[in-house]
Structure 1
Amino acid sequence: MKCFQEICNCSCGDSNELWEATTNRELNSKLSLKELCHSNIGWFSDKSICDSYELADWMDSKIFGIYFLWHKDDYCPTHNLFHMKCLYVGKGQIKNRITRHFYSKDFSENMLVYFTYYDLPNRLSKYYEQLILDIFNVPFNKSENKGLNNLCMYFTQNEVD
């Protein structure tokens, strides 16, 4: 489904073939890229809108895994889907890492940042994070970001509410 070619120019979805081929070759049990990117969705506003941020009680501070920060890039009225572009991928204790990003990164250009995360053991989080950075160019990641493709997903209205 590529309904944003005029707007996005990143051929969203094409890079999933490389993801599938790599995980099929390297892992016995694998997660789809869509499953990783569409789990446990939340959001926060940039510091210029809200000067403090707390994930409060809805997220356990012990959850460890991989997480993504997203920008809602555009909307496709044909498919009723939001085009989301990945800004950052990381791993660690999710609640602490996302809170740290709120306070340390400048998201003023994006204003509203969505996040998704997937609970995984450290070694799998490292693997998936590195594979994403090898395949995709994620703009807020500075180290080991060798990928050439944009990481984009389509989210439903329910997912972004």
Structure 2
Amino acid sequence: MPLILGLDPGLGTTGWGVIMADGNRLSHVANGHIRTETKMPLATRLLALDIALTDLMLEHRPDGAAVEEVFVNSNPQSTLKLGQARGVVLLGAARAGVEVGEYTPAVIKKAVVGVGNASKDQVHAMIQRLLPGVKIAGADAADALAVAITHAHHMATARRIPRA
């Protein structure tokens, strides 16, 4: 059964969630968040994120990882910081030898709720249903669990489709 690490990257807070996937059966393993101190220099914050992610990879040893793709918001500075944090997350997974799936917010919502324009509340409610008894560490961790669930569904579908 593959262990999947979902990541919702952010410079201030990166959410993470680990699930076990057995076909369409999912079970919660762990979730949480990595926070960086806003008063630290950017390079130091990115290093702190990298170190925490490395520790997370060593602790859980995931078979696969998934990351939410960057969305562009109205503040270019925020988008740039998000992209830098996402780069650290992708690098950390690659360094650990873990293959990474990348999914847009609409694809994640569709995989978890069934519609690409679902609200965050709907996504979080479905996570509670898909992972019964889960205690979610916060909104970023919930988003990361949704990314992991999306990756599990995509992996299960890819296994069912015969390769040419």
* TM-score normalised by L of structure 1: 0.26
* TM-score normalised by L of structure 2: 0.25
Structure 1 or 2: larger helix share?
A: 2
